[in-house]
Chains A and B, each alone.
Chain A
Amino acid sequence: MIGLVYNEMLKMVRKKRLWVILGILVILIPIFTYAQAQTLERAAKQIGTSDWKVVLKQQIIDQQNRLTSSRLPEEWKAFIKLNIQQQEYYLKNDINPTAPGAPTFMRKFVEESVSLFLPLLVVIIAADLVSSEHSSGTIKLLLTRPVRRWKVLLSKYISLLFATSFIVLSTAILSYLLSGVIFGYGGWDLPVLSGFQEKNGALLTEFVHLIPQWKYLLMAYGLSWLACITVATVSFMVSVLVRSTASGMGIMLAAVISGNLLMQLSPTWGAIKYFAFTQLRLTDYLSGRPILIEGMTLPLSIGVLGAWSVVALIIAFVTFSRRDVLA
């Protein structure tokens, strides 16, 4: 079995997909870093000071002003209100939610990329993992060995889990190394608030507590990893079901993007909670960022993601071990 997993990992490494993904990260992270630095600078310039308290206060006031707009949908208002409450809490407790430094950038980056950017990177390697063997014809060599089909598929799945882990961790490491050039490399011990809870539109701070940023990062990347594994698993199923690389990739891109769109466009439509790709923002539970869709809770999110993964795996394994290889 180890040999089989090694086979799959070797192919993945030699196919250069992983390097392409690292390349994408190396190009995009500096752009995001620069954009973030610009935003901070502009905000500081607007107000005339870089004191985070002033900036934060101004942000709160700006959001209060948005609330007065009658055109804003109710669910957005609730979202903004919770956001204001949380920021006021940071202010009251004298904790800077955006203390500059590469670790803070890592935190912001994973919180922003967990629902779209990271899943897309995972889709790049996962969506043709099985279908590429079909399109290159090598599936015929793979399945005429004295190895059961489920073992072949399992080795592919394990190597996919490893690759997903590698991508998530590389994102963390590269965003640290690259953003540190501008923001500096310190800030692992900065306190971060966690444990915000929401009840009936009000923010509960009963369980809010401080954790060091390094621990927060470990947890945030761990959660984004769970989300990425679900995306990987569903892509894996698609790559078993669909023979062409292009359509597999297309299906997964459409699914991930529409999950994000649904979250923005119709947060009041309760049924979208059960679509796995609207549940990817697991890090929001950690940061206490208000969740737009009504009725979302951590057990529900984990449950939906888990259920999708299990069902996808069952479909993948049953199909793969039964299906005739016709072309």
Chain B
Amino acid sequence: MHSNHRLRWISIFAVAIASFSILLIGSIMSLIELFRPQTSNLQQSASQKAVSPSSPTVGRIVSLGDSLTRGIGDDSGKGYIQLFREQLQKSSKSEVSLVNLSVSGATSTDLRKQISQPETANLLKSAEIIPLTIGGNDLFRGSGRLENTDPETVEKARLTYQENIDFILKDIRKQNSKATIFVFGLYNPFGDLSEAKQTNEFVAQWNQTAQQVIAKYDRVVFIPTYDLFQLEPKRYLFTDHFHPNQYGYQRIANRLTQLVIDQEGMETK
């Protein structure tokens, strides 16, 4: 009875004081840490690590580009890239990894910057399939949407686009000489409007530009999308009249699937 009593007394106080002290020490340490910041000790450790970079075991698809690759406008949120991945998984009966590096609203200049980041480069190294959509924002948004049909400005944007896409492809090739790169062409979302003649001309011009650049590289495939939206833009475009809807994306995905899966068939033979 008595020793029991004493034991309870001691254990209650021991637990209480121990937890109080540990946390008190922790809080004092953190306040010292936060109020008197140490200078960075990272340079060293970062360089140490650089000696043995962990090469990421990245999967096969690394997608780049703008809102089209993001899937904006698709109610299911998948976009062509997820649809494509699903189909590929079905046919190959295995998991296909996908890293989607696209950023909504990206122009070719943005993509050029992103490509130069070391981490993006790392991811590209181990990719096998690199789908990419770019240029739509350069043409329709960067040059002030279609109110601005000043041919001079558009021409200026086209030259930048040409230079960027060349840089991008060169850079990807530098990182990865084997992967197949699929570059999607532009389509004209305004094909049913009064200025259609003018915009059609621009889109055709830009697509030609892209194709010319692409021709310089091995294993880079140009996939046209212009034709897909030409006849019935309303049916395949989202309500914003700019992005494809899910049917539009399905059509784009089908094109890519067709190319890749055929190719796969060839390779397995």
Name A residues whose Cβ lies closer than 8 Å to a Cβ of B. Answer: 6, 9-10, 13, 45-49, 51, 53-54, 57-58, 61, 64-65, 68-69, 88, 91-94, 159, 161-163, 165-166, 168-170, 191, 193-195, 197, 205-211, 215, 218-223, 225-226, 285-286, 298-299, 302
Contacts and interface: CB of A to CB of B under 8 A. Distances in A.
20 contacts: A47-B99, A51-B56, A58-B99, A65-B70, A65-B104, A88-B119, A92-B118, A93-B46, A94-B53, A165-B16, A169-B22, A169-B23, A193-B42, A209-B39, A209-B40, A211-B33, A218-B22, A218-B26, A223-B30, A298-B35
Contact of A194 (B33, B101, B105): B33
B30 A58 contact: no
A13 B12 CA distance: 9
Interface of B: 9, 12-13, 15-17, 19-20, 22-31, 33-35, 37-42, 45-46, 49-50, 53-54, 56-60, 70, 95-105, 118-120, 122-123
Contact of B34 (A61, A65, A285): A285
Contact of A219 (B16, B20, B26, B37): B26
Given A48-B98, A91-B119, A298-B35, 5 more contacts: A58-B101, A61-B100, A93-B45, A219-B26, A222-B25
Contacts of A51: 56-58
B27 A223 contact: yes
Contacts of A197: 37
Contacts of B15: 166
Contacts of B104: 65, 68-69
A191 B40 CA distance: 13
B158 to A, nearest CB: 24
B54 to A, nearest CB: 7
A66 B137 CA distance: 17
Interface secondary structure of A, over-half rule = helix
Nearest to A91: B119
A299 B36 CA distance: 12
Contacts of B12: 6, 9-10, 13
A82 B104 CA distance: 19
Nearest to A228: B23
A61 B53 contact: no
B103 A61 contact: yes
Nearest to A161: B20
Contacts of B99: 47-49, 54, 57-58
Nearest to B30: A219
A159 B20 CA distance: 11
B123 A54 contact: yes
B81 to A, nearest CB: 12
Contacts of B30: 218-220, 222-223, 286
A208 B42 contact: yes
A110 B246 CA distance: 42
Nearest to B29: A219
B97 A57 contact: no
A48 B56 CA distance: 12
A222 B59 contact: no
Nearest to B32: A219
Contact of A207 (B38, B54, B70, B102): B38
Contacts of A209: 38-42
